């Protein structure tokens, strides 16, 4: 029996909550007749009520609604049905359809989304002109750019840094939107219930921006849209939350392996052509570090102040390794953002500093080439 168990057995059955709990009401009962006061009074954090949902999730649903509204606004602006004579129903999207002519440049550049675009059957499956003939692709991309898609030339040369944020609210089509939104609801709702809308909102937006910054550093030949950077940020925060709160979980190994499997599979999908895996990696790393900063749970539940020795001060509820992870994450997050932003707006190409990094976004095989990616 632990020291804490021994002490709690000698305490009255009905006692007021400890200092570390959310409540503070007292029932007027005095201390136990024979209190046993150990040198350091604490117990492992493990009560079911501490791990149960504490907030109602409303921000994540609002994010989903905002993405859907922006998507339908994009459909309205693109207005593909008026050009139905140019639209095609094909089982395979021609490669040139996924290319676009960039203003001021003669070469064709790919459209990057944050999710793989499978075979397209009709306009209703992927409505945003991605299945229209190439004569309309230029117009489609012009309108996406007007709505805020991520484009290195406009971000750096035109000083439109706001695109680093606006691009995460745009999507390339129904499949792209549906996969991202379902994943965000599945992951984000539970996180918001556990940690509140402020922390999850910060992780979502900052991760989206982190993914956009890394994408702009390494991809100059295309535009990028999608909320996958923010989604991967939520995944990254789940991993860091598990690590920093390791001692409070019972099935920690199974949870770790499952989460790692999901992350690896999604990163692997990101290595397909025309998927902006740099946004995935940047969002994941941002969320991973933010998880250490914002999701650490108290590992120590202090007992009543009246049972503490006279004159003894309450020490921290967090364990030393949590402070170390907090400081390292803060330093790496600030340094990463500063270095990436400086390199980006100086016009540096990330591929010049990391020659193998391009394989993070596309791995060439016998079925496709990554030359134009």
Catalytic residue among 102, 149, 215, 228: 228
**Burial of 148: CB neighbours in 10 Å, binned 0-12, 13-18, 19+:** buried
The reply to whether 355 belongs to the active site is: no
Catalytic residue among 129, 171, 280, 307: 280
Q: 109 near 100, Cβ under 8 Å?
A: yes
How far are the Cα atoms of 50, 92, 175, 268 from residue 370, in angstroms, in the given order? 49, 19, 23, 15
Q: At what angle do helices 174-195 and 59-78 cross, to 10 degrees?
A: 160
Rg (CA), the chain: 26
Strand 223-225 relative to strand 108-113: parallel, antiparallel, unpaired? Answer: parallel
Buried b (16+ CB within 10 A) or exposed e, 88-127: eeeeebeeebbbbebeeeeebbbbbbbbebeebeebeebb
234: its two tokens: 């939520």
The reply to whether 134 belongs to the active site is: no
The closest alpha carbon to 120, from 168, 63, 48, 176, belongs to 176
What residues are annotated to the active site?
Answer: 228, 280
């Amino acid at each position: 029996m632990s020291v804490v168990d021994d002490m709690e057995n000698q305490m009255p059955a009905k006692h007021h909550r400890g200092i570390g709990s959310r409540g503070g009401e007292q029932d007027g009962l005095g201390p136990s007749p024979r209190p046993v006061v150990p040198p350091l009074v604490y117990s492992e954090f493990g009560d079911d009520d501490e791990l149960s949902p504490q907030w109602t999730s409303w921000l994540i649903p609002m994010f989903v609604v905002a993405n859907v509204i922006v998507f339908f606004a994009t459909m309205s602006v693109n207005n593909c049905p008026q050009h139905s004579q140019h639209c095609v129903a094909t089982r395979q999207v021609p490669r040139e359809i996924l290319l676009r002519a960039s203003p001021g440049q003669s070469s064709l550049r790919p459209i990057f989304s944050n999710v793989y675009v499978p075979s397209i059957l009709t306009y209703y499956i992927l409505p945003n002109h991605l299945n229209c003939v190439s004569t309309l692709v230029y117009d489609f991309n012009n309108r996406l750019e007007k709505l805020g898609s991520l484009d290195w030339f406009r971000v750096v040369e035109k000083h439109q840094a706001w695109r680093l944020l606006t691009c995460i609210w745009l999507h390339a089509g129904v499949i792209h939107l549906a996969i991202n939104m379902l994943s965000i609801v599945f992951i984000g709702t539970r996180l918001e219930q556990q940690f509140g809308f402020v922390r999850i909102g910060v992780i979502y937006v900052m991760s989206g921006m982190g993914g956009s910054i890394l994408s702009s550093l390494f991809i100059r030949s295309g535009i990028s849209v999608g909320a996958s950077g923010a989604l991967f940020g939520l995944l990254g925060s789940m991993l860091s939350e598990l690590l920093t709160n390791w001692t409070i979980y019972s099935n920690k190994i199974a949870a770790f392996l499952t989460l790692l499997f999901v992350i690896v599979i999604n990163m692997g999908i990101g290595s397909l052509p025309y998927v902006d895996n740099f946004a995935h990696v940047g969002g994941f790393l941002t969320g991973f570090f933010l998880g250490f900063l914002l999701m650490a749970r108290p590992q120590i539940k202090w007992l009543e102040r009246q049972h503490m020795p006279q004159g003894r001060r309450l020490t921290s509820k967090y364990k030393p390794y949590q402070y170390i992870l907090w400081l390292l994450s803060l330093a790496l997050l600030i340094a990463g953002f500063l270095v990436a932003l400086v390199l980006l707006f100086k016009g540096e190409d990330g591929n010049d500093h990391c020659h193998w990094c391009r394989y993070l976004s596309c791995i060439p095989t016998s079925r496709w080439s990554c030359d134009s990616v």
